[in-house]
């Protein structure tokens, strides 16, 4: 683990062996390693425990009735993830229940991060689901709700970092996916920024997946990004 690194490397695969190889390569340059829904569904707690080298950001994006989400949070507490995601759109009671469910973890309590608007969604996508206004307006609405309901931080696109900092202040932790180094393909992300731009805007951590794990040398790719934002 690189102490103080703002880089989170997303190990997006269902192959536990591949994830371990990536983790070994990138951990010297990363502050955290992210395991998402596909990895956790395929490999469970045993797969989680096999990934070492840096603290784990468990990105499950829980979204259900408050009691169910609280139960889900309690179920993963023994794994001691450093961060855990829920959807801000689940509402105030759900966010409060998730935060309260971490109380018994003591010093191992995970940071509860509320996902605002997925970085794959643009204006037309939100409109199709019945959400009026721009993505930025929805991010701010959900961000304010989540922080008021007890979330430790937010997951947002890099384009909303400055806005959220101005609205919510410096204490709220901002974890930012949708990061694409110069020359990288956007893929399924629609609201993106380079690593240096996102950190300059005020991101606490940036999440980078395919530009690192898809590189011929993931360790070198992680080192380059870590150096760019140091």
Q: What's the pLDDT tens digit per position in 165-176?
A: 999 999 999 999
Position 185 scores a pLDDT of 55
Check which CATH number belongs to the domain holding 16 and give it: 3.20.20.70
How many angstroms separate the CA atoms of 28 and 94, rounded?
36
Q: Within a domain: residue 1?
A: no
pLDDT digits (tens, 9 = 90+) for 122-173: 899 999 999 988 999 999 999 999 999 999 999 998 889 999 999 999 999 9
Q: How confident is the model at residue 193 (pLDDT cuts 50, 70, 90)?
A: confident
Closest CA relative to residue 39, chosen from 67, 54, 53, 20: 20
Q: Within a domain: residue 143?
A: yes
- Average pLDDT across the chain, whole number: 93
Measured N-to-C along each axis, helices 92-101 and 66-76 cross at an angle, to the nearest 10 degrees, of 30
Q: Within a domain: residue 154?
A: yes
How many angstroms separate the CA atoms of 89 and 95, rounded?
9
Q: Within a domain: residue 102?
A: yes
pLDDT digits (tens, 9 = 90+) for 49-72: 999 999 999 999 999 999 999 999
Q: What are residue 86's phi and psi, to 5 degrees? A: -130, 165
In three-state secondary structure terms, 9 is strand
Q: Could you tell me which residue, 47 or 230, shows the higher pLDDT? A: 47
Q: How confident is the model at residue 187 (pLDDT cuts 50, 70, 90)?
A: low
Position 73 scores a pLDDT of 98
Structure tokens given for 169: 């202040």
Q: Within a domain: residue 79?
A: yes
Domains in the chain, number? 1
Question: Does residue 61 have an active-site annotation?
Answer: yes
String of DSSP letters for 104-160 = GGGGGPPEEEEE-S-TT--HHHHHHTT--S-HHHHHHHHHHHHHHTT-SEEE--GGG
Position 2 scores a pLDDT of 78
Q: Within a domain: residue 2?
A: no
Q: What are residue 165's phi and psi, to 5 degrees? A: -60, -45
Residue of 6, 34, 61, 173 with catalytic role? 61
Q: What residues does 87 pair with on adjacent strands? A: 115
Position 184 scores a pLDDT of 60
Question: What range defines the domain where residue 121 resides?
Answer: 7-229
How many angstroms separate the CA atoms of 129 and 96, rounded?
25
24 to 13, 21, 74, 96, 199: CA distances (angstroms): 15, 5, 28, 36, 25
Q: Within a domain: residue 109?
A: yes
Q: What is the mean pLDDT of residues 215-221?
A: 96
Q: Within a domain: residue 112?
A: yes
Q: How confident is the model at residue 121 (pLDDT cuts 50, 70, 90)?
A: confident
Position 115 scores a pLDDT of 97
Q: Is the pLDDT of residue 189 over 70?
A: no
pLDDT digits (tens, 9 = 90+) for 88-105: 999 999 999 999 999 989
Q: What is the mean pLDDT of residues 31-59?
A: 97
């Amino acid at each position: 683990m690189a102490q103080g690194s703002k880089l989170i490397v997303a190990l997006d695969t269902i192959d536990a062996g591949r994830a371990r190889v990536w983790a070994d390569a990138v951990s010297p340059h990363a502050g955290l390693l992210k395991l998402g829904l596909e990895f956790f569904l395929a490999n469970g707690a045993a797969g989680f425990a096999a990934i070492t080298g840096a603290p784990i950001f468990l990105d499950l994006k829980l979204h259900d009735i408050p009691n169910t989400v609280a139960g889900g949070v309690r179920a993963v507490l023994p794994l001691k993830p450093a961060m855990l995601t829920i959807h801000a759109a689940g509402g105030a009671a759900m966010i409060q229940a998730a935060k309260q469910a971490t109380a018994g973890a003591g010093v191992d309590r995970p940071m509860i991060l509320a996902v605002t608007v997925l970085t794959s969604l643009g204006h037309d996508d939100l409109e199709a689901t019945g959400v009026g206004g721009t993505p930025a307006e929805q991010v701010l609405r959900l961000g304010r709700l989540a922080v008021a309901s007890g979330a430790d931080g937010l997951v947002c696109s890099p384009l909303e970092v400055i806005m959220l900092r101005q609205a919510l202040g410096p204490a709220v932790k901002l974890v930012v996916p949708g990061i694409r180094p110069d020359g990288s393909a956007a893929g399924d992300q629609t609201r993106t920024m380079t690593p240096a731009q996102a950190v300059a805007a005020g991101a606490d951590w940036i999440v980078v997946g395919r530009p690192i794990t898809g590189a011929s040398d993931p360790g070198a790719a992680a080192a380059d990004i870590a150096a760019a934002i140091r």
